[in-house]
Amino acid sequence: MRVLGIETSCDETGIAVYDTERGLLGHALHTQIPLHQAYGGVVPELASRDHIQRLLPLTERVLSQCALTRRDLDGIAYTEGPGLIGALLTGATFAKTLAWSLQIPALGVHHLEGHLLAPLLEDPAPSFPFLALIVSGGHTLLMDVRGLGQYQLLGDTLDDAAGEAFDKTAKLLGLGYPGGPALARLAETGDPTRMRFARPMTDRPTLDFSFSGLKTQVLLKVQAQGEGREQDANIARAFEEAVVDTLIWKCDRALDQTARERLVVAGGVGANRRLRERLVAATTARGVQVYFPRTEFCTDNGAMIALAGALRLVAGEREDAIIRANPRRELAELTAPVESP
Ligand code: KG4
Ligand code: ZN
């Protein structure tokens, strides 16, 4: 099956075509960063309006990149949620309408299932079962993954998500939006021996996370240094080390508990260079293979949605023509694909 993937959950319009025999045929991304920069964060209504303008030209661009026409498509997958309701509705409406006009199926995909399966776009791809660490702007999850739609939640964040913690800390340091990558760049110039923050929740056996206390520690350091700002890079470095240490500590625990031999890391924070280096070292030490998507597929993209939708469509899953978007939906509620009559 040749499936068009559409991602519009937040501030990125992502389009891709995935072929279940040949793999990823093409993809393109339009980022709205310049549009929201002046506001210091995503303005939902501006995001929806921009998606509407981008969807059709971006789809045409990807199809011509793949030397295909709309008639060559066998199905359409779109992000159903979680995400911003207006942004989700633009993608869902576009997908359902296009699919209806072509008389092909459209299927809503859980955004986090997209992230979770993104490493399957790479070679070598991980095989099931595996342990997954999803670290995005909205979520920090440890999942035991037995197969497509067979997900058991092992750990979740009690407050801020890892990406959210990066973004809020970046804001405290005056780094603007998007904060995560800017904070990571500043951290590279910091001295790791100058400062240390407590590692949240590593003194307890739970696999849950909590990052909001870390933000408070950063705030106190920023306030203590006054106007000088000469400690900013060291603060960024200490913050990054604390987050990375915590994530590694929890992954280690989860690997102990599940005895899985493969670890998959996904979501925007998975693009963090320090996290990747440290995870490779930690997993190698215990004989576990770690899999990451390429950096551009860590953050939101159409390829992961095309892939996740294609795997479900090819297994026979179908839905009605009702246009749906679901801004809040738990990943652990998903089931394996069921062939429709
Ligand atoms: O997965 P994603 O693109 O969107 C969501 O579904 O949330 O993740 C975006 C998050 C943002 O919080 C961003 O700051 C963070 O990922 N991020 C990073 C890096 N690149 C993106 N955080 C740390 N280091 C990075 N290099
Ligand atoms: Zn995402």
pLDDT level of residue 72 (50, 70, 90 thresholds):
very high
What is the position in ligand 1's atom list of the atom closest to the CA of 12? 3
How far, in Å, are 85, 86, 234, 275 from residue 323 at the CA level?
12, 13, 48, 38
Ligand nearest, relative to CA of residue 267: 1
What is the position in ligand 1's atom list of the atom closest to the CA of 161? 12
Q: Is the pLDDT of residue 272 over 90?
A: yes
The pLDDT of residue 227 is 81
For residue 151, the cross-strand partners are 145
What is the distance in A from the centroid of ligand 2 to the CA of 203? 29
Whether 126 is in the pocket of ligand 1, judged by its Cβ within 6 Å, is no
CATH code linked to domain 2-116+298-333: 3.30.420.40
More confident residue, 178 or 72: 72
CB 137 within 8 A of CB 268: yes
Mean pLDDT over each residue of the chain, to the nearest integer: 96
What tokens were used for 266? 């996904």
Was domain 129-292 assigned CATH 3.30.420.40? Answer: yes
| 129-292 matches 2-116+298-333 in CATH topology | yes
- For the stretch 216-262, pLDDT in tens is 999 999 999 888 888 999 999 999 999 999 999 999 999 999 999 99
pLDDT level of residue 340 (50, 70, 90 thresholds):
confident
Q: What is the mean pLDDT of residues 3-17?
A: 98
pLDDT-above-70 percentage for the chain: 100
Whether 163 is in the pocket of ligand 1, judged by its Cβ within 6 Å, is yes
Q: Is the pLDDT of residue 203 over 90?
A: no
pTM for the whole thing?
0.94
Q: List the one residue out of 61, 54, 48 whose CA is nearest residue 17.
A: 61
The pLDDT of residue 40 is 86
Counting ligand 1 atoms within 8 A of each CB, the residue from 133, 297, 299, 331 with the most, and so the one to mutate, is 299
| Cβ neighbours for 278, distance < 8 A, ≥ 6 positions apart | 244, 248
Whether 246 is in the pocket of ligand 1, judged by its Cβ within 6 Å, is no
Q: What is the mean pLDDT of residues 285-300?
A: 97
Domain ranges of the chain: 2-116+298-333, 129-292
What is the position in ligand 1's atom list of the atom closest to the CA of 163? 12
Q: What is the mean pLDDT of residues 149-175?
A: 96
The pLDDT of residue 201 is 84
The pLDDT of residue 12 is 97
